Structure 1
Amino acid sequence: MNIRTATMADLSALTAVEAACFPVAEAATEADFAARLRIYPNHFWLLEQDGEVVSFVNGMVTDEPTIRDEMYANASLHREDGAWQAIFGVNTLPDYRRRGLAGQLLTAAAEDARTAGRRGCILTCKDRLIHYYEKFGYQNQGVSQSVHGGAVWYDMTLEF
């Protein structure tokens, strides 16, 4: 398997994987991904098998210590020199889950953030996934202000 960053040529594949992983109310659209790819393609970590994207992690860089809902739809809020690597989505196609693929991508994103001199990584997750992210060193900061997709989210922080 190969880990790489994204290009605009990956737009359809990213959109399809996202749709397989998130409910419609929470999933990024093709337009969302197109805007993100125009501004921060190097903040998409893709894992391929036989040329097919089977898992990916993506998110902008920000100086804010938590993710605001506006960030999902407004790629122009990205700050390449920001303190925090936000993780918007951790996506793995259902047939490829429970193989450690998402963990490889989370680790790659964190390593890149550390190398870039960032303070750490931030994400939001549902309560059932708190323990998963804690395995990677993320700490639960409590219920998020985010109401993205009408769900209850928890802010998680991995500080270097």
Structure 2
Amino acid sequence: MEIRTAGTEDIAALTAVEAECFPPAEAATAQEFVERVRYYGNHFWLLYEGDKLISFVDGFVTDEADLTDEMYENAAMHSEDGAWQMIFGVNTLPEYRKHGYAGQLLRRAIDDARQQHRKGLVLTCKERLLPYYAQFGFRDEGVSDKSTHGNVVWHQMRLEF
């Protein structure tokens, strides 16, 4: 298995995996992935088994300290020299879960952000996932007042270096 960044050749696979991992109101569309890969394909961490995408983590970099809904919708907000690595999605196909694949990708994203001298990483998650992200060093900052993406209650979590 290899971990690599995203290119346009990955759009269909990204869209398919995202659709399996999130309900339609929360899932990114193919067009959103086209824009995301165009602006920040190097901030995708993809795990392939052969030619099958089984897990990926994506996000962009910004000087904004909090994750907002606008960030999901506007890939042009990415700033390569930004202070914070935002994480928009952590996706693993259901049949590949509980094998540590998402954890490998998160550790890689954390290591990359540290090497790039970011202040840290920020993500939002549902309450049931708080303990999962806490094991990587993220701390819960409470319910986000800046993200209601998909009409869901999201907790903002931060890992600060």
Q: Alignment identity in percent?
A: 60
Count residues in correspondence.
Answer: 160
Which residue pairs with 2:6 in the alignment? Answer: 6
Give, in angstroms, the shift of residue 51 of structure 1: 1.6
| Residue of structure 1 equivalent to 2:113 | 113
Unaligned runs of 5+ residues in structure 1 are none
Q: Distance in 1 between matches of 2:11 and 2:121?
A: 24
- Write out aligned runs for 1:1-160 (5 A): 1-145=1-145, 146-160=147-161
State the 1:40 CA deviation. Answer: 0.6
Aligned-partner residue type, residue 60 of structure 2:
M
Write the distance in 2 (CA, Å) between the matches of 1:91 and 1:54. Answer: 8
Give 1:66 shift: 1.3
Cα RMSD for the two superposed structures: 0.5
Q: Per-residue deviation at 1:121?
A: 0.4
Distance, in Å, in 2 between the alignment partners of 1:106 and 1:51 is 21
| Separation of aligned partners in 2, 1:34 and 1:70 | 17
Displacement, 1:84?
0.4
**SS state of the match for residue 66, structure 1?**
coil
1:29-50: CA deviations, max 9, x gaps?
A: 0010000011111000000001
Runs of 4+ in 1 over 2 A off after TM superposition: none
Cα displacement (A) at 1:64: 1.2
